[in-house]
Amino acid sequence: MGLILTTAGESHGPALVAVVTGLPAGLRLDKEAIDHDLWRRQQGYGRSPRQKLESDEVEVLTGLRHGSTLGTPLTLVVRNRDHKNWLYGMSPWPPEGEPEGKGTKAVTLPRPGHADLAGVMKYDLDDVRDALERASARHTAAIVAAGAVAKALLGELDIGLESSVVEVGGVRGEAAIVEAIDAARGDRDTLGGIVEVRARGVPPGLGSYATKEDRLDARLAWALVGTQAVKGVEVGDGFALAERRGSEAHDEIFRDAGGFHRETNHAGGVEAGMTNGEVVVVRAAMKPLPTLMRPLRSIDLASQEPAQALVERSDVSAVEALAVVAEACVAFELARAARDKFGGDALRDFVAAHRAYVERIDWAPR
């Protein structure tokens, strides 16, 4: 079945959960490394006051013994500290006593750009909260926890990832970005942006041209567009390639004592759905967040009359957080492809299969 991630959990419910199946036995996990990535996701200029309430930390319920994976489903839990303010409103069972705390009144003001309107129609809901809770980007904490595990597995093959913010609200560079976020906050507005993930040390041949499902670029796009607020993905030069001639778009092949290599990387390390041994470069575009402090026009679902959309505390920009989330998504898909190629029962066999393979193809990272 390969490496599979299943997540569960609501934004203000008790916890978010990630279940990872298909991990080899014998992989050592470091709680601090997972918590560090959870912490990184919570940083960034322009986040909501919610981040002061949360200080995400991983708990492991299954699949790990004394820090080593057992080859059985690994269950990671990230508690929502804010849940204590929603004990009645988000109680899994019918709550007892008088309503108190948050989430006790039905939300009827759908936000343009969020799950709110289509969610209540699709699932026959009376309270928009029943849709927005799972749709919330709080979910990305579970993705990051699983991504940290994937990074540990990739680390065994000396594959490393880094992520960065390319632009926010159409501007680049830290000072301009801070200024743009301050201006948007002043206007009670929100900003999107673009992030980039780079993975080094990835051997050629992860992914496959055999089926659409196996294509690594398809999996990367699936994982990233499946993340809240992501509307576009580019691998390598992406959309810009469409404007170039073939002679300027492809990465010519060279060989020296170190093996095959390219001098350009327009393909972003992926050709025909497979890695080609160059750095894997993926970019994701995030739309501005839909919860605006100056709300957009909507319809009150209770009265069916024009109204302003729901105003909840929100981020002005979560682009820096998306960089960490995108890194986790790319890590998970690379780990999945590596596990498909090198096997997944025992870590030692996984590492040995990788070593034998890179020797056969005479490949070493540059």
Which residues in this chain contact ligand EPS in the complex, by CB under 6 A? 11, 48, 50, 54, 136-138, 140-141, 228, 291, 312-315
Give me the least distance between CB of 205 and ligand EPS, in Å please.
35
Shorter beta-carbon distance to ligand EPS: residue 90 or 221: 90
156 vs 315 by CB, closer to ligand EPS: 315
DSSP 60: E
54 versus 127: smaller Cβ distance to ligand EPS: 54
Q: CA-based angle 236:242:243, to the nearest 5?
A: 115
Give the shortest CB-318-to-ligand EPS separation in angstroms: 7
- Please identify, using beta-carbon distances, which residue of 136 and 275 lies nearer to ligand EPS: 136
Shortest Cβ 5–ligand EPS spacing (Å): 18
Q: Considering the complex, what minimum distance in angstroms separates the CB of residue 228 from ligand EPS?
A: 6
User: Closest Cα partner for 228 from 303, 97, 300, 322?
Assistant: 322
> What is the rounded CA–CA span in Å between residue 221 and residue 203?
20
Measured from the CB atom, is 244 or 313 closer to ligand EPS? 313
Q: Please report, as a single letter, which amino acid is at residue 243.
A: E
Nearest in space to 6 (alpha carbons), one of 87, 48, 49, 63: 63
Q: How far is CA 229 from CA 36, 47, 213, 261, 316, in A?
A: 23, 15, 23, 36, 13
Q: For ligand EPS, give the closer residue by CB, 189 or 312.
A: 312
Q: How far is the CB of 73 from ligand EPS (least distance, A)?
A: 24
- Please identify, using beta-carbon distances, which residue of 75 and 314 lies nearer to ligand EPS: 314
Read off the tokens for 361. Answer: 């193809």
CA-to-CA dists, residue 74 to 58, 182, 268, 343, angstroms:
12, 41, 31, 17
Task: Write down the least CB distance from residue 274 to ligand EPS, Å.
Answer: 33
DSSP state of 294: S
Report the amino acid identity of residue 312.
Answer: E
Report in angstroms how near the CB of residue 111 gets to ligand EPS at its nearest: 8
Question: Whole-number minimum distance, CB 260 to ligand EPS, in Å?
Answer: 42
Give the residue from 16, 279, 18, 337 showing the smallest Cα distance to 162: 279
Q: What is the DSSP string of 316-361?
A: S--HHHHHHHHHHHHHHHHHHHHHHHH-SSBHHHHHHHHHHHHHHT
Least distance (Å) between residue 300 CB and ligand EPS:
19
Q: Kindly write down the DSSP assignment for every residue of 246-283, as one continuous string.
A: HHHHS--EEEETTEEEES--TTTTEETTEE-SSPEEEE
**Which of 142, 182, 153, 111 has the alpha carbon at shortest distance from 2?**
153
Q: Identify which of 291, 287, 289, 286 has the alpha carbon closest to the alpha carbon of residue 322.
A: 286
Cα 103–120–225 angle (5° rounding)? 95
Q: Output 60 or 289, the one with its CB closest to ligand EPS.
A: 289
CB of 321 to ligand EPS, least distance (A): 6
Q: Which is nearer to ligand EPS, 114 or 262 (CB)?
A: 114
Nearer to ligand EPS, 137 or 197 (CB): 137
